[in-house]
Structure 1
Amino acid sequence: MPKPLALPFKRIFISGGAGVIGQEMVRRLATLPNDIEVLVGDLKPRPADFPARFRYRQGDLNFLTEQEIGAFAPEVFIHLAATFERSTESYGFWEENFRHNVQLSHHLMTVQKDLHSLRRVVFASSYLIYDPELYNFAEVPAQPRSLRETDPILPRNLTGMAKLAHEIELRFLQTFRGEQFSTAIPRIYRGYGRNGRDITSRWVRMLLAGEEITVYGAESFFDYLYAADTAEGLLRLAAAETVTGIINLGTGRARRVSDVVDVLKQNFPNLRAKYVASDIPFEASQADMTLWSSQIDWLPPTSLEEAIPEIIAFERARQETPAAKAPGHVLISSVAAKVPLVQAVRAAAQRLHPDVKVIGGDMNPACLARHFTDDFWLMPATADAHLEEIITHCRAHGIAHVIPTRDGELAFWSRHRAALAEAGIAVLVSEPEAVTRCLDKLEFEVFGRENGLPVIPTALGLDGLAANAQSLGTTGFVVKERHGAGSLSLGLNLPEAAALAHARSLEEPVFQPFISGQEISVDAYVDRTGQVRGLVPRTRDVIVRGESQVTTTISDPALVARLIPIVEKLGLYGPLVLQALLTSDGGLHLIECNCRFGGASTLGVAAGVDSFFWFLQEAAGADLSQFPFRPAAGPLRQVRAAADVVTAV
Structure 2
Amino acid sequence: MSHRPLGGPGPGMPDRHFAGVRVLVTGAAGFIGRWVARRLTEAGADLILPVLERRSADAVFARYAVRGTILELDLGSPDSVEPLVRAARPLVVFNLVGYGINRSERDESLFWRINADLPAELARAMGEHRERGWPGASVVHVGSIAEYGPVGGDLAEDSPARPATLYGRTKLSGTVRLAEACQGCNLPGLTARLATVYGPGEHSGRLLPTLLGAGDAPVPLSAGLQKRDFTYVEDVAEGLLRLAAARPAPGEIVNLVTGVLTTVREFAEIAARVLAIEPNRLRFGALAARPDEEMEHLPITNVKLRRLTGWAPPTGIAEGVRRTREFLALDPQGDYR
TM-score computed with the length of structure 2 as normaliser: 0.81
Structure 1 residue 175 corresponds to structure 2 residue 178: no
Contact 1:62 1:107 survives alignment (8 Å): no
Q: Tell me, in whole angstroms, the C-alpha distance in 1 between the residues paired with 2:303 and 2:67.
A: 38
Q: Tell me, in whole angstroms, the C-alpha distance in 2 between the residues paired with 1:324 and 1:151.
A: 35
Report the AA paired with residue 217 of structure 2.
E
Question: What does residue 47 of structure 2 align with?
Answer: 38
Q: Tell me, in whole angstroms, the C-alpha distance in 2 between the residues paired with 1:171 and 1:196.
A: 29
Deviation string for 1:546-567 (max 9, x for gaps)?
Answer: xxxxxxxxxxxxxxxxxxxxxx
Contact 1:195 1:201 survives alignment (8 Å): no
CA deviation after TM superposition for structure 1 residue 107, in Å = 4.2
Q: Tell me, in whole angstroms, the C-alpha distance in 1 between the residues paired with 2:66 and 2:246.
A: 28
The structure-2 alpha-carbon separation of the partners of 1:116 and 1:68, relative to structure 1 and needing over 3 Å to count, comes to closer
Which of 173, 176, 190 is equivalent to 1:165?
Answer: 173
Q: Tell me, in whole angstroms, the C-alpha distance in 2 between the residues paired with 1:124 and 1:92.
A: 20
Question: What does residue 153 of structure 1 align with?
Answer: 161
Which of 20, 27, 39 is equivalent to 1:16?
Answer: 27
Deviation string for 1:176-202 (max 9, x for gaps)?
Answer: 210xx2011111111112110262333
Question: What does residue 581 of structure 1 align with?
Answer: none
Question: What does residue 217 of structure 2 align with?
Answer: 211
- Write the mapping of 1:201-600 to structure 2, written as runs, cut at 5 A: 201-207=208-214, 209-242=215-248, 244=250, 245-266=252-273, 267-270=275-278, 272-276=281-285, 278=288, 280-281=290-291, 283-285=295-297, 286-318=299-331, 320-321=332-333
Question: What does residue 538 of structure 1 align with?
Answer: none
Report the AA paired with residue 275 of structure 1.
F
CA deviation after TM superposition for structure 1 residue 2, in Å = 4.1
Q: Tell me, in whole angstroms, the C-alpha distance in 2 between the residues paired with 1:85 and 1:217.
A: 22
Which of 59, 74, 99 is equivalent to 2:90?
Answer: 74
Q: Tell me, in whole angstroms, the C-alpha distance in 2 between the residues paired with 1:168 and 1:242.
A: 15
**DSSP 3-state at the match of 1:41:** strand
**DSSP 3-state at the match of 2:243:** helix
Q: Tell me, in whole angstroms, the C-alpha distance in 2 between the residues paired with 1:258 and 1:85.
A: 21
RMSD over aligned Cα atoms: 2.8
Deviation string for 1:56-103 (max 9, x for gaps)?
Answer: 2233223435334322210111111112236xx689442332343234
Q: Tell me, in whole angstroms, the C-alpha distance in 1 between the residues paired with 2:49 and 2:100.
A: 20
Q: Tell me, in whole angstroms, the C-alpha distance in 1 between the residues paired with 2:31 and 2:323.
A: 14
Report the AA paired with residue 321 of structure 1.
Q
Structure 1 residue 94 corresponds to structure 2 residue 108: yes
**DSSP 3-state at the match of 2:128:** coil
The structure-2 alpha-carbon separation of the partners of 1:278 and 1:49, relative to structure 1 and needing over 3 Å to count, comes to closer
Deviation string for 1:377-400 (max 9, x for gaps)?
Answer: xxxxxxxxxxxxxxxxxxxxxxxx
Q: Tell me, in whole angstroms, the C-alpha distance in 1 between the residues paired with 2:288 and 2:126.
A: 45
**DSSP 3-state at the match of 2:207:** helix
Deviation string for 1:443-471 (max 9, x for gaps)?
Answer: xxxxxxxxxxxxxxxxxxxxxxxxxxxxx
Q: Tell me, in whole angstroms, the C-alpha distance in 2 between the residues paired with 1:196 and 1:324.
A: 6
Please identify which structure carries the higher strand content.
1
Contact 1:62 1:103 survives alignment (8 Å): no
CA deviation after TM superposition for structure 1 residue 257, in Å = 0.9
Q: Which has the higher contact order (CA 8 A, sep 6+)?
A: 2
Q: Tell me, in whole angstroms, the C-alpha distance in 1 between the residues paired with 2:139 and 2:243.
A: 10
Q: Tell me, in whole angstroms, the C-alpha distance in 2 between the residues paired with 1:65 and 1:294.
A: 32
The structure-2 alpha-carbon separation of the partners of 1:116 and 1:312, relative to structure 1 and needing over 3 Å to count, comes to closer
Question: What does residue 150 of structure 2 align with?
Answer: 132
Deviation string for 1:307-346 (max 9, x for gaps)?
Answer: 112222334444x227799xxxxxxxxxxxxxxxxxxxxx
TM-score computed with the length of structure 1 as normaliser: 0.44
The structure-2 alpha-carbon separation of the partners of 1:317 and 1:56, relative to structure 1 and needing over 3 Å to count, comes to same
**DSSP 3-state at the match of 2:13:** coil
Q: Tell me, in whole angstroms, the C-alpha distance in 2 between the residues paired with 1:52 and 1:92.
A: 29
Question: What does residue 364 of structure 1 align with?
Answer: none
Q: Tell me, in whole angstroms, the C-alpha distance in 2 between the residues paired with 1:227 and 1:52.
A: 16
CA deviation after TM superposition for structure 1 residue 19, in Å = 1.5
Q: Which has the larger radius of gyration?
A: 1
CA deviation after TM superposition for structure 1 residue 217, in Å = 3.9
The structure-2 alpha-carbon separation of the partners of 1:150 and 1:166, relative to structure 1 and needing over 3 Å to count, comes to same
Identity of aligned residues (%): 22
**DSSP 3-state at the match of 2:190:** strand
Q: Tell me, in whole angstroms, the C-alpha distance in 2 between the residues paired with 1:112 and 1:280.
A: 39
Deviation string for 1:484-513 (max 9, x for gaps)?
Answer: xxxxxxxxxxxxxxxxxxxxxxxxxxxxxx
Q: Tell me, in whole angstroms, the C-alpha distance in 2 between the residues paired with 1:311 and 1:8.
A: 28
Report the AA paired with residue 49 of structure 2.
V
CA deviation after TM superposition for structure 1 residue 263, in Å = 1.4
Which of 3, 20, 34 is equivalent to 2:11?
Answer: 3
CA deviation after TM superposition for structure 1 residue 110, in Å = 4.9
Q: Tell me, in whole angstroms, the C-alpha distance in 1 between the residues paired with 2:87 and 2:122.
A: 15
Q: Tell me, in whole angstroms, the C-alpha distance in 2 between the residues paired with 1:175 and 1:102.
A: 17
Question: What does residue 99 of structure 2 align with?
Answer: 83
Contact 2:100 2:106 survives alignment (8 Å): no
Q: Tell me, in whole angstroms, the C-alpha distance in 2 between the residues paired with 1:196 and 1:234.
A: 18
The structure-2 alpha-carbon separation of the partners of 1:113 and 1:199, relative to structure 1 and needing over 3 Å to count, comes to same
**DSSP 3-state at the match of 1:299:** coil
The structure-2 alpha-carbon separation of the partners of 1:103 and 1:275, relative to structure 1 and needing over 3 Å to count, comes to same
CA deviation after TM superposition for structure 1 residue 229, in Å = 0.5
Equivalent residue pairs, number: 307
Contact 1:20 1:196 survives alignment (8 Å): yes
Please identify which structure carries the higher helix content.
2
Which of 119, 127, 131 is equivalent to 1:105?
Answer: 119
